[in-house]
Amino acid sequence: MLSLKKGRYVTRLAETDADLRAAQTLRHLSFHGHLGLDEDRYDDLCVHVLVEEARSGRLVCCFRLLPFENGAAIERSYSAQYYELSGLRDFEGPMVEMGRFCIHPEVQDPDILRVAWGAMTSFVDEMGVEMLFGCSSFHGTDEENYLDSFAMLRDRHLAPKRWLPRVKAPQVFRFAERLRRKPDAKLAMRHMPPLLRTYLMMGGWVSDHAVVDRQMNTLHVFTGLEIAAIPPARKKLLRAVAG
């Protein structure tokens, strides 16, 4: 499962302690800008996906997956530390939380994101997942850098009311309430994180506030994607990569 080779890259599951340490090292470099280990108690619960250069074996991307039978266990998710998710308890189908997604800061290749989503698509299909969710992060904690992006999220991509996360974290930016500006679409998309941009292209939605996470040096929004809502053409493209 999740063994995939596309062009210059291969994906596989972490199998050893060394694999996990490599992912934790890349995460720390990506989120904090220097070497170290980014680790927490969720690592032992998750499946870890690695994207490597086929020729060199260099790790260029990683993320982790935490499956749930349905929304009844949503409070055990990483995201539930920061968002009040009681609205999602009634979600009846299988769910998976994707977290700690990162790409090596020295590697700029859009194919990496495509291959990562191909691996995710394979997992979703094999497990019968009906909702993908997680925290999508903006780098840094100054919301002024992303006001057009947040304004676009407010105007076009807020969660349906029945699923809308409520405020739980001590420090948040309530962009849906506070922003009155009309977004500049070009600036909004330029500053939108690539992972979140992909979620939105597939029909994903976000919380009405961003959490200020100083430990990770990010602003993040809860992001959900109902698999049934993905446009057929987009599903076809993803499955072509996954196949």
- Paired sense of beta strands 131-139 and 95-103, if any: parallel
For 34, the token pair is 């220097």
pLDDT tens string 142-198: 999 999 999 999 999 999 999 999 999 999 999 999 999 899 999 999 999 999 999
Mean pLDDT on 50-57: 95
pTM: 0.94
Mean pLDDT computed over every residue of the chain: 94
What is the pLDDT at residue 238?
80
List Cβ neighbours of 193 (8 Å cut-off, separation of 6 or more): 136, 137, 138, 139
Banded pLDDT at 237 (limits 50, 70, 90): confident
CA quadruple 154, 158, 161, 166: dihedral positive or negative?
negative
Phi/psi zone of residue 217: left (φ > 0), alpha (ψ -120 to 50 degrees), beta?
left
List domains and CATH numbers for the chain: 4-242 (3.40.630.30)
pLDDT tens string 89-117: 999 999 999 999 999 999 989 899 999 99
What is the pLDDT at residue 3?
66
Which 3 state secondary structure label does DSSP give 60?
A: strand
